[in-house]
Amino acid sequence: MKSQVLVLGAGFGGMELSTLLSEALGEKADVTLIDKGDAFVFGFSKLDVMFGRTKPEAIRVPYRHFVKPGVRFLHETIKAIDPAARRVVTDAGTYEGDFLVVALGADFDLAATPGLAEGGNEFYSVAGATRLREVLPAFSRGHAIVGVAAAPFKCPPAPSECALLLDDYLTTRGVRGACEITLVLPLSSPVPASAEMSRALVAEFAEKGITLRIGRAVKALEPGRKTAVLDDGTELPYDLYLGVPKHRVPQPVVDAGLSDDGWIPINPRTLETRFPGVYAIGDGAATGTPKSGSFAESAARAVCASIIARQQGSEERHLYAATGSCYVELGGGRLGRMDLDFYSGPKLKSVYYEPSAAWREDKQKFGASRRARWFGL
Ligand SMILES: Cc1cc2nc3c(=O)[nH]c(=O)nc-3n(C[C@H](O)[C@H](O)[C@H](O)COP(=O)(O)OP(=O)(O)OC[C@H]3O[C@@H](n4cnc5c(N)ncnc54)[C@H](O)[C@@H]3O)c2cc1C
């Protein structure tokens, strides 16, 4: 039986799901993939952009290269979702599917942190990272804060990476001695899924004189006084603020009644929402697992298998394995790696690989393999 699949969002989750359905079903896949952007961007390349390691235009992979049997890509903005009818309204049309997969990622809610838009710099969007290319060269003295407004947030190691890359950047410019760096993280450790990776990061912070404020969030900025206010009332003066804003699902997901307190409630193993035939994968889904590209791909694998089973008349649910690998930049060109597996055993399995320069090539292969698989580049 052929049935139409609407995939909302062409990020890590949507790209992988559409590719898997195309590989399995060819022309019969009947997938409509919708994204408001005209190019894919790897999350980690924002750090490369802000520290001048690459140019903003170099990180865009245009969707025109995404050509797969049985998949049509629509460059349209989703305005409304009716999950009960599995219907989507965009700025250019209305579409219905037998299956609807919400893979719209997470948006940033700058207004949730008063003063952030006026007095800080966020580095989690391409626009924010691009602006920082102008801001960072002017910072040569004083206190830099890398601060997170709320958890959960994308890529838990990224703020730690930002602090360590800032240390590198200031050292290379010969001004590190005149600067202080503080990292404010609303987590129990730098990477809660890996005690070893957290220990390695804490050791790097100590060696490099980076102050870590763990278990704290930045509640507000007071740009007039150049002060960050933490959730316990502590005030930290700053000269440069690099921020991770509060995250939540995009507004059409909220308006559709699909979310609860910022995230989409799902069955954490089948990724089904409370609406029949509607799944959520990737950053927007309240899985409790890390919000990262490789976990979005893991979710895509489960949902692809479930959709194909149901198209074949089976009610079998394929379970989200929640497996993924993360490369973590520790500065000085060294990267560590951790492999996480949430569900195959009775508790989280976490394998840690010591930092080395060799992981850089591995991380490049991670990006290159997705470019090749999704875009044929
Ligand atoms: C600084 C930083 C570093 C990171 N480093 C890593 C890393 O090293 N490894 C890793 O695995 N992950 C990393 N991540 C996280 C990773 O980028 C995300 O977890 C991943 O992209 C999530 O995939 P997704 O499919 O859920 O959402 P996304 O990839 O965000 O895709 C969502 C898509 O939905 C589209 N969309 C949203 N609203 C609409 C609308 N109304 N209409 C149409 N389209 C819409 C967007 O344009 C977007 O293309 C990093 C993230 C950041 C910010």
Write down the residue that tokens 């002060």 correspond to: 227
Measure 204 CA to ligand 1 centroid, in angstroms.
Answer: 28
Nearest-CA residue for atom 6 of ligand 1: 44
State which residues of the chain have pLDDT below 70.
Answer: 1-2
Nearest-CA residue for atom 7 of ligand 1: 44
Measure 355 CA to ligand 1 centroid, in angstroms.
Answer: 26
- Delimit the domains of the chain by residue range: 5-106+249-320, 115-247
Mutate to test the pocket of ligand 1, among 18, 77, 94, 104 (most ligand atoms within 8 A of CB): 104
Domain 5-106+249-320, architecture per CATH: 3-Layer(bba) Sandwich (3.50)
Mutate to test the pocket of ligand 1, among 41, 42, 73, 244 (most ligand atoms within 8 A of CB): 42
Nearest-CA residue for atom 11 of ligand 1: 293
- Give 313-354 pLDDT, tens digit per residue: 998 999 999 999 999 999 999 999 999 999 999 999 999 999
The CATH label, of 3.60.21.10, 3.20.20.80, 3.50.50.60, 3.20.20.140, for the domain at 115-247 is 3.50.50.60
Measure 120 CA to ligand 1 centroid, in angstroms.
Answer: 22
Q: Ligand 1 pocket by C-beta < 6 Å: which residues?
A: 9-14, 34-37, 43-44, 46-47, 77-78, 103-105, 124, 154-155, 158, 250, 252, 282-283, 291-294, 296, 326-327
Measure 376 CA to ligand 1 centroid, in angstroms.
Answer: 20
- Please tell me the total number of residues recorded for the chain in this structure: 377
- Give 110-131 pLDDT, tens digit per residue: 999 999 999 999 999 999 999 9
Write down the residue that tokens 């903003």 correspond to: 56
Measure 43 CA to ligand 1 centroid, in angstroms.
Answer: 6
Measure 268 CA to ligand 1 centroid, in angstroms.
Answer: 19
- For residue 2, the model assigns a pLDDT of 61
- Give 42-57 pLDDT, tens digit per residue: 999 999 999 999 999 9
- For residue 3, the model assigns a pLDDT of 74
Measure 66 CA to ligand 1 centroid, in angstroms.
Answer: 17
